[in-house]
Copies of this chain bind each other. A is one copy, B any other.
């Protein structure tokens, strides 16, 4: 197996990615790694990986034009390396817009797929149970056919990556009844029923998404991004308030020390940096996007996700799924 790694993309850069790559390699001696970035910063990995020089870093708000112009960037060179080496996965913590544009231009979409979607697993209230949500931000606008394709991508992912036999798929809406939702939601609901989409469970509201009931939640990219970010924002707010609560007085400080191990458990379960990587579903290649603010643990976990998905041949499964549903 070959994995190509953009070493410069994350907010912290090689300070995070270099140790993460070493951690990963310690566990997976058999994987061939290609690390792409400024040679001076990645040279220490020469004993375990092939070094690929790329002098530039793409800015975090890059779009298609910026990507095409940034031919010396680690992201651009990494994509070219992925193609040249016929690698099994590529991973970056860099600009979402950049990798989305680049992957769409360079790798194209899976035959039959209308759009790529950003697919990410989220922790739920049930331990070690994840819900797969897509699209969380690749698109500003989608149509009903695209959403039914996202449902298929989500289903295949939940089935093969999480081993769920018959994943329960829901449509994000503002009410659970079939007649609730935006015009797009109602149309998609109808289309999924017409398709006899396997185990389609109907609408789900934002407040139920994380309760462990749903295996897959489908939404357009704009709404999905609002969902993702309001989850992040609320979690951050509560964490801050919790810190304040423990600082209130001497007694509460003692209380924190005594309950620390439980609280730390909780924090680590909620830490989206450690959920690993999101997948650019629908791209004709395995592209993993790690969180921009990944720390060493987070980037290592994203490398594990890339490994697992390459091992399960998720993209081939999606390709076959699209042929079967054509």
Contacts and interface: CB of A to CB of B under 8 A. Distances in A.
A206 B227 contact: yes
Given A206-B226, A206-B229, A262 B248 contact: yes
Nearest to A256: B259
Interface string A210-235: 11000000010111011111111111
Contacts of A41: none
A208 to B, nearest CB: 6
Contact of A140 (B181, B232, B269): B181
Interface in A239-263: 240-242, 244-249, 251-252, 254-263
A233 B206 contact: yes
Nearest to A228: B206
Contacts of A180: 140
Contacts of A174: 137, 140, 221-222, 225-226, 229
* Chain multiplicity (copies): 2
A28 to B, nearest CB: 31
Contacts of A252: 258-259, 261-263
Nearest to A248: B262
> Which secondary structure dominates chain A's binding surface?
helix
A172 B227 CA distance: 12
Interface string A27-49: 00000000000000000000000
Interface in A133-173: 137, 140-141, 172
Contacts of A240: 125
Interface in A165-221: 172, 174, 177, 180-183, 185, 205-211, 219, 221
Given A206-B227, A234-B238, 4 more contacts: A207-B229, A207-B230, A209-B230, A255-B257
